[in-house]
Chains A and B, each alone.
Chain A
Amino acid sequence: MRSITIKKDLFFLTLVFGGIAALSFALTRVEKITLPKPSKATKVALADVAVVANSIDTAFAEDWVTGDLIPADQVDNLLVARRISLGIAGTIPSLAEIREFESQPEADQIDWWLARLLEDRRTSNYLAERLTRALVGVEDGPFLIFRRRRFVSWLSDQLHLNRPYDELVSEILTEEGLWTDTPAVNFYTRTITQGEESNKPDPVLLAGRTSRAFLGMRIDCLQCHDDFLDTVELGEADDLRSGTQRDFHSLAAFFSDVESSLLGIRDIEEHIPYEYQLLDEDEASVVVPAVPFNSELDGKESNQRMRLANWVTHEKNRPFARATVNRIWAIMFGRGLVNPIDEIPLGGPFPKVLEILTSDFVSHGYDIHRLIRVIGTTQAMRLNSAADFSITQSHEDAVAVFPMLRLRPEQVAGAIGQSTSLTTINSGSHITTRLMKFGQQNEFVNRFGDPGEDEFSDRGETVTQRLLLLNGEMVGERLENVLNAPSHLASLSPDIDTTVDVIYLTTLTRHPNEDERNQAVNWISKQSRDQRSEEVIDLYWSLLNSAEFRWSH
């Protein structure tokens, strides 16, 4: 018994001292982050990225002139790095990463950061979660036959490998098999209503989902009636018309042959026609599959899902590429180039930048990493969110300022976790660190309130959210636990200046200004040595609760 106690004590002491040693190391040394050396081809590609980014800058500049708008000035590289990592990795840079970032030549810093993030699993995991919301939603869905986590982790692997997005979507639309072995089929099993006799994926839900997620068009209202508000444009480019109920069900008809059995999702060999009673008809009749626009791209293959997938991802079917570009832009900026992000009108008008990015995305093989690099390199990413003139909706619509948005719950949780650690919390972290992060983050998001699928509209801040940051378990634990950075910072730092600098860098990803530095140094130095760690924790607390921390800006 006694020996067990001693072992436990030893384990605990090892954890504490090991942790302190690691902190001390992290505080004083730059952790060398090595990225693969860029090949000649990569260098050429990067130069090409810059060319596209430049053409986007020019297009925005023209819009500002047309709209008689003055753009905001530019922010420094560290804030750009913060924006990019919140956008694509759902967290903020660690102290180690900031040190390394600052050691890069200034002109290369953003490219270096994009390269770093794109090869890190934080990014693929986070992007997969964001895209999964559009593909299968946020709820748990049908018991056993829907495995959302498997779907996310499969998608994360694909994004990490940077699989061409058209291929990936084609696989989602056509895959067969079990929800466990071939996770892509969860796109289908999510729509099964258990308890109903048919046990079939629901063609109506699938049609709505396909249209929103892959074509950037919300045509759900057509499920019940023709478009009488002239809000849904369908038909051919030279002959646009209002959408009809038949359009919706013709899209749903592509899914009539999919069934779910013990073998998983597959196509029934014997074709089952899709029947529906349209509003102006007396009885149900067969509705044959038909694409809602760009019908010249329809290859009329015999397998219905294959036919739909080939049409959706056809290189001339621009709505698919546009929808993807608009979504990735929204993930990085908090709002799309067209909003709501899944209501892109078929016939335009389209923002020039959306068209530049769409063409580039198609001509470079639906390369998501390249798309992120281009967006991350634009001047728009560097625009200030504050200005010395009144910022209006026109400024935001024309991307003449960087939009201000509340961070999403998992971004707040990710940022709190990272800011109280000096090392990077990623797939290289110790398993206990990652598990703790996972547990705390889930609990936090649950209490904060998940925005659900409708994730790009501002839902307002709640008192509960403020209480959670003021007094909640996660902030408390991250600040007070002796294993985390804030408790030791005062005693490990060579001087108070460094302490203050580290607090600002880890929480707000910037150095304090002169006022802030003086004030903080004053607060800390007034305390006796043994009280300083409390003061440090309090300063951390105030910054984690500040608007600058809680908002993307």
Chain B
Amino acid sequence: MLNPTNLLQKQQNHFHRRSLLKMAGLSGFSWLTPLATRLARNAEADRREKAKSLIVLWLEGAPSQLETFDPHEGTEIAGGSKARKTNVKDIKLGDGLQQVAEQMDHISLIRSVTSKEGDHERAVYNVKTGFRPDPTLVHPSIGSVICHQLNHEHDRQIDIPRHISILPSNMPGRGGYLGDQFDAFKVFDPVQPIPDVSARVEAKRQLSRLEKLKFADRQFLKNRSNNLIVGDSLGNSNLDAAIRMMSSDQLKAFNVSQVSESERSQFGDTPFGRSCLAALRLIETGVRCVEVTLTGWDSHVNNHEIQAERISILDPAYASLIKELKKRDLLDSTMVVCGGEFGRTPWINPLGGRDHWPHGFSIALAGGGIQGGRVVGETDPNPTRGAAPKASIKQPRPIEDVHATVFSSMGINFQNELDTPIGRPMKICEGKPVKVLLDN
């Protein structure tokens, strides 16, 4: 069907940074000139300590611990799944995690994570926020808390959002009671254009549009400058930020289509692999938190096949991410957390599947101060059917302990209480850090 949008997309390619900057200057919206921004940023970069960042590899649908981070080869519950040796003595991983096994010295595992949520929606909330769903309050996700707590000079120099969700599924990280400004910015396969950052018309026309907008706003805003309740929020600071982002060189970090074939292929030529590469580039640019989602782990039927197929996508991407962070000297400042909303039942059901199991599952952590090659907790290789699930794990760690570990490594005082809209002060996190993973 005839659609002018196609024509406009072609025009977007002619939209150059130079003309955008010119437009920015001409339109009279107030922001720091690009030159000043650049100078400030360079000056800052020399002095500053490396910023702490977080990458979450979010395995939505819930991976099976027995085929990934907690194999029990040769037991009844393994159901034929094999384990493989890693570069750390005594730690084995699921057979499919071939490349990750080579990075094991950088990765540590908590094999005894527990939660009380066995329903996907509630569990995703629980794992992403560290709190169980509460009917009166929406808690912020871990990435939102970090962006809220860590707001240094460096953060103010970033033109692009500091909290990003690549390939978002149903519940990308949200700001909750901290406000929508802490929501993750959602982007898709990083060879696709970034949503909403390109003007739909060529530069000259965009300039004329902005002039019209300025004219439209002038009188309305002037009449309301004495409204002390809405105050500055009525102004155009977000418009300034949006235009700055549209013309920023930093946007390049989102798109991996220009990256060399060899670099791309090591992450695996999949949307998830490309997204992990983009996450790396975004962290390099100064973004605080990136969440990359790989869905499809909910293996109630044919568990082994489903898990193996997902693992084949996860393995090269995850391993290359760790390897590249290390190579670029970013691993010490970037924590990578990998896991899903719960684990899967030890016993295989009649359809060859594994069901939901929040009573002892695995989460892998690497970088950002995590000592690699360590394991916390263990699950029983020969659990008794019908026994209380808690009998089958040692050193259980509730999910909020993972949050406390991340916050603690980033220097965030997670015991602090934040104000919430319902007037009830709320601790950032109620867990305890898993110290053994952080201590030298």
Chain A residues close to B by CB (< 8 Å): 12, 137, 139-142, 193-196, 205, 208-209, 212, 218, 220-221, 231, 340, 385-393, 396, 403-404, 447, 449, 451-454, 457-468, 470-473, 476-477, 480-482, 515-516, 519, 523, 534, 538-539, 541-543, 545-548, 551, 553
Interface locus among B222-230, B263-271, B321-329, B369-377: B222-230
Asked if residues B4 and A546 are in contact (CB atoms below 8 Å), the reply is no
Q: Are A480 and B8 interface neighbours, CB within 8 A?
A: yes
A343 shortest CB reach to chain B, Å: 8
Chain B residues near A470: list those with CB within 8 A. 196, 199, 239, 242, 246
Q: Ordered nearest first, which 4 A-B pairs have the shortest CB separation?
A: A542-B212, A546-B216, A460-B179, A195-B118
Using A218-B422, A459-B179 as known contacts, say yes or no to A471 and B199 having CB atoms under 8 A apart.
yes
Closest CB in chain B relative to A101 CB, distance in Å:
22
Q: Are B1 and A340 in contact (CB-based, < 8 A)? A: no
Please name 11 further chain A to chain B contacts, defined as beta carbons within 8 Å, in addition to the given A447-B195, A470-B242, A470-B246, sorted by A numbering.
A12-B1, A193-B122, A212-B135, A454-B138, A454-B421, A463-B161, A463-B242, A482-B2, A516-B215, A546-B217, A548-B216
Q: Which of B212-242 contact A (CB under 8 A)?
A: 212-213, 215-217, 219-221, 223-224, 226-230, 233-234, 236, 238-239, 241-242
CA distance A157 to B136 in the complex (A): 28
CA of A387 to CA of B225 in the docked complex: distance in angstroms? 10
Q: Please, which residues of chain A bring their CB within 8 A of the CB of B195?
A: 447, 467, 472
Chain B neighbourhood of A142, CB < 8 A: 119
From B100-108, B181-189, B330-338, B389-397, give the one contacting chain A.
Answer: B181-189
Known: A538-B208, A546-B213. A466 touches B138 (CB 8 A): no
Q: Beyond A391-B229, A467-B196, is A386–B241 a contact (Cβ under 8 Å)?
A: no
Report the number of A-B residue pairs with Cβ-Cβ less than 8 Å.
Answer: 178
CB distance from B19 to the nearest CB of A (A): 16
In the complex, the answer to whether A462 meets B119 with C-beta atoms within 8 Å is: no
Q: Shortest beta-carbon distance, A523 to chain B, in Å?
A: 7
Q: Is the CB of A538 within 8 A of B205?
A: yes
- Judge whether B5 and A464 touch: CB under 8 Å: no
Neighbour of A385 across the interface among B181, B224, B423, CB < 8 A: B224
Given contacts A391-B229, A457-B421, contact A212 B200 (CB under 8 A): no
Taking the closest CB of chain B, its distance from the CB of A488, in whole angstroms, is 13
Instruction: Report which of A389, A460, A534 forms a contact with B233, defined as CB distance below 8 A.
Output: A460
24 contacts between A and B (CB under 8 A): A139-B121, A196-B118, A340-B421, A340-B422, A391-B226, A391-B228, A392-B229, A396-B229, A404-B224, A404-B234, A447-B195, A460-B181, A463-B238, A463-B241, A467-B195, A467-B246, A468-B196, A470-B242, A473-B196, A538-B205, A541-B209, A542-B212, A543-B216, A546-B220
Q: How far is the CA of A220 from the CA of B136 in the complex (A)?
A: 8
Q: Which of A403, A462, A472, A539 contacts B183 (CB 8 A)?
A: A462
Contact A466 B216 (CB under 8 A): no
The minimal Cβ–Cβ distance linking A547 to chain B, given in whole angstroms, is: 5
Residue of B nearest to A191 (CB): B135
- Is there an interface contact between B226 and A390, defined as CB atoms closer than 8 Å? yes
Docked-complex contact B180 and A459, CB < 8 angstroms = yes
Residues of chain B within 8 A (CB-CB) of A452 are 138
The CA of A482 and the CA of B8, in the complex, are separated in Å by 14
**B229:A393 contact, CB within 8 angstroms:** yes
Tell me the minimal C-beta distance from B364 to chain A in angstroms.
25
Which residue of chain B has its CB nearest to the CB of A477?
B5
- Cβ-based interface call for B51 (8 A): no
Query: B356 at interface (Cβ–Cβ under 8 A)?
Result: yes
How far apart are A444's CB and chain B's nearest CB, in angstroms? Answer: 11
The interface residues of chain B lying within 8 Å CB-to-CB of A476 are 5, 8, 200
Bound Cα distance from A447 to B184, whole angstroms: 11
Cβ of B4 and Cβ of A481 under 8 Å apart? yes
Residue B295 interfacial (CB < 8 Å):
no
Given contacts A218-B136, A481-B3, contact A548 B122 (CB under 8 A): no
Q: Given the complex of chains A and B, what is the CA–CA distance between A396 and B201 in angstroms?
A: 41
CB of A96 to closest CB in B, whole Å:
24
| B424 is an interface residue with CB less than 8 A from chain A | yes
Cβ of B418 under 8 Å from chain A: no
Interface: B197 (CB within 8 A): yes
Measured CB to CB, the nearest residue on chain A to B177 is A454
Contact A404 B229 (CB under 8 A): yes
The residues of A that contact B227 with a CB separation of less than 8 Å are 385-386, 390-391, 404
A388 CA to B224 CA, complexed, in Å: 9
* Interface residues in chain B, defined as those with a beta carbon under 8 Å from any beta carbon in chain A: 1-5, 8, 118-119, 121-122, 134-138, 161, 174-175, 177, 179-181, 183, 185-186, 195-201, 205, 208-210, 212-213, 215-217, 219-221, 223-224, 226-230, 233-234, 236, 238-239, 241-242, 245-246, 356, 421-424
Q: For B220, what are the chain A residues with a Cβ–Cβ distance below 8 Å? A: 546-548
Q: Is the CB of A466 within 8 A of B234?
A: no
Give the distance to chain B from A436, nearest Cβ to Cβ, in Å: 13
Which B-chain residue is minimally distant from A549 (CB atoms)?
Answer: B216
* Partner among B177, B181, B208 whose Cβ is within 8 Å of the Cβ of A462: B181
| Complex contacts, B174 vs chain A, CB 8 Å | 449
**A538 and B4 form a contact (CB under 8 A):** no
* Residues of chain B within 8 A of A208, CB atoms compared: 135-136
Bound form: Cα–Cα A553–B221 in Å: 12
- Residues A386 and B224 in contact in the complex (CB < 8 Å), given A140-B121, A195-B356, A340-B422: yes
CB distance from A206 to the nearest CB of B (A): 10
What separation, in Å, do the CA atoms of A16 and B220 have in the docked complex?
Answer: 37
* Distance between Cα atoms of A539 and B205 in the complex (Å): 11
Cα A551 to Cα B227 with chains together (Å): 14
Smallest CB separation, A535 vs chain B (Å): 8
Q: How far is the CB of B400 from chain A (nearest CB, A)?
A: 17
Pick the contact of B136: A212, A459, A473, A538 (CB < 8 A): A212
Cα-based distance from A205 to B122 in the complex (angstroms): 14
* Distance (whole angstroms) from the CB of A452 to the closest CB of chain B: 6
Chain A contacts for B234, CB-based, 8 A = 404, 547, 551
B180 touches A542 (CB 8 A): no
Question: Do A466 and B242 have beta carbons less than 8 Å apart?
Answer: yes
The minimal Cβ–Cβ distance linking B243 to chain A, given in whole angstroms, is 8
Evaluate contact between B119 and A195: CB separation under 8 angstroms: yes
- Whole-angstrom distance from the CB of A133 to the nearest CB of chain B? 12
> Whole-angstrom distance between the alpha carbons of A94 and B4 in the complex?
25
Q: Which residues of A contact B119 (CB under 8 A)?
A: 142, 193-195
A541 and B212 alpha carbons, distance in the complex (Å): 9
| Docked complex Cα distance between A393 and B229 (Å) | 6
**A390 vs B236: C-alpha distance when bound (angstroms):** 20
Give the Cβ gap from B135 to chain A, nearest Cβ, in Å: 5
Contact, CB under 8 Å: B245 / A463: yes
Question: B12's closest neighbor in chain A, by CB?
Answer: A471
* B180 and A460 contact, CB distance less than 8 A: yes
The residues of B that contact A551 with a CB separation of less than 8 Å are: 234
Q: Are A538 and B212 in contact (CB under 8 A)?
A: yes
Query: Are A480 and B4 in contact (CB-based, < 8 A)?
Result: yes
What distance in Å separates the Cβ of A454 from its nearest Cβ neighbour in chain B? 6
With both chains docked as a complex, state the minimum distance between the C-beta of B389 and any C-beta of chain A, in angstroms. 13
| Alpha-carbon separation in the docked complex, A209 to B238 (Å) | 36
Pick from B137, B208, B238: contact of A466, CB under 8 Å? B238
What CA separation (Å) do A340 and B161 show in the bound complex? 31
CA–CA, A459 to B119, complex, Å?
28
Known contacts A393-B229, A538-B209; is A467 also within 8 Å of B215 by CB?
A: no
CB <8 Å contact, B242 and A467: yes
Question: Closest residue of chain B to A140, judged by CB?
Answer: B121
Task: Looking at the assembled complex, report how far the CB atom of A479 sits from the nearest CB atom of chain B, in whole angstroms.
Answer: 9
CA distance A141 to B423 in the complex (A): 27
Q: Known interface pairs A391-B229, A463-B238. Does A542 touch B215 (Cβ–Cβ under 8 Å)?
A: yes
